[in-house]
A and B are shown apart, each in its own frame.
Chain A
Amino acid sequence: MADAVLFEFLHTEMVAELWARRPDPSPGGQKTSLSVLEGMGFRVGQALGERLPQDTLAFREELDALKFLCKDVWVAVFQKQMDGLRTNHQGTYVLQDNDFPLLVRMASGLQYLEEAPKFLAFTCGLLRGTLNTLGIKSLVTASVAALPACKFQVVIQRA
Chain B
Amino acid sequence: MSRQSNRGTESKKMSSELFTLTYGALVTQLCKDYENDEDVNKQLDKMGYNIGVRLIEDFLARSNVGRCHDFRETADVIAKVAFKMYLGITPSITNWSPAGDEFSLILENNPLVDFVELPDNHSSLIYSNLLCGVLRGALEMVQMAVEAKFVQDTLKGDSVTEIRMRFIRRIEDNLPAGEE
Contact = CB atoms under 8 A, between A and B. Distances in A.
A25 B47 CA distance: 22
A16 interface: yes
B43 A75 contact: no
B6 interface: yes
A6 interface: yes
A155 interface: no
A89 interface: no
A136 B55 CA distance: 37
Contacts of B55: 5-6, 9
Given A3-B87, A72-B11, A16 B18 contact: no
Contacts of A77: 14-15, 18
A76 interface: yes
Of A6, A10, A17, A36, most buried by chain B (CB within 10 Å of CB) is A6
A145 interface: no
Interface residues of B, number: 35
B154 interface: no
B22 interface: yes
Nearest to B86: A3
A10 B51 contact: yes
B88 A2 contact: yes
A143 B86 CA distance: 31
Given A13-B50, A36-B29, A40-B29, A4 B15 contact: yes
Given A14-B26, A76-B15, A2 B54 contact: no
Interface of B is mostly: helix
B58 A10 contact: no
A31 to B, nearest CB: 16
A11 B111 CA distance: 18
Contact of B86 (A6, A36, A41): A6
A77 B17 CA distance: 9
A12 to B, nearest CB: 8
Of B6, B11, B22, B47, most buried by chain A (CB within 10 Å of CB) is B22
Given A1-B15, A48-B21, 19 more contacts: A1-B111, A2-B111, A3-B19, A6-B19, A7-B18, A7-B22, A9-B54, A9-B58, A11-B22, A13-B47, A13-B51, A44-B18, A47-B17, A52-B10, A56-B6, A72-B11, A76-B14, A77-B14, A79-B15
Interface of A: 1-7, 9-11, 13-14, 16-17, 21, 36, 40-41, 43-44, 47-48, 51-53, 56, 71-73, 75-77, 79, 122
Interface of B: 6-7, 10-23, 25-26, 28-29, 33, 43, 47, 50-51, 54-55, 58, 85-88, 111, 115, 130
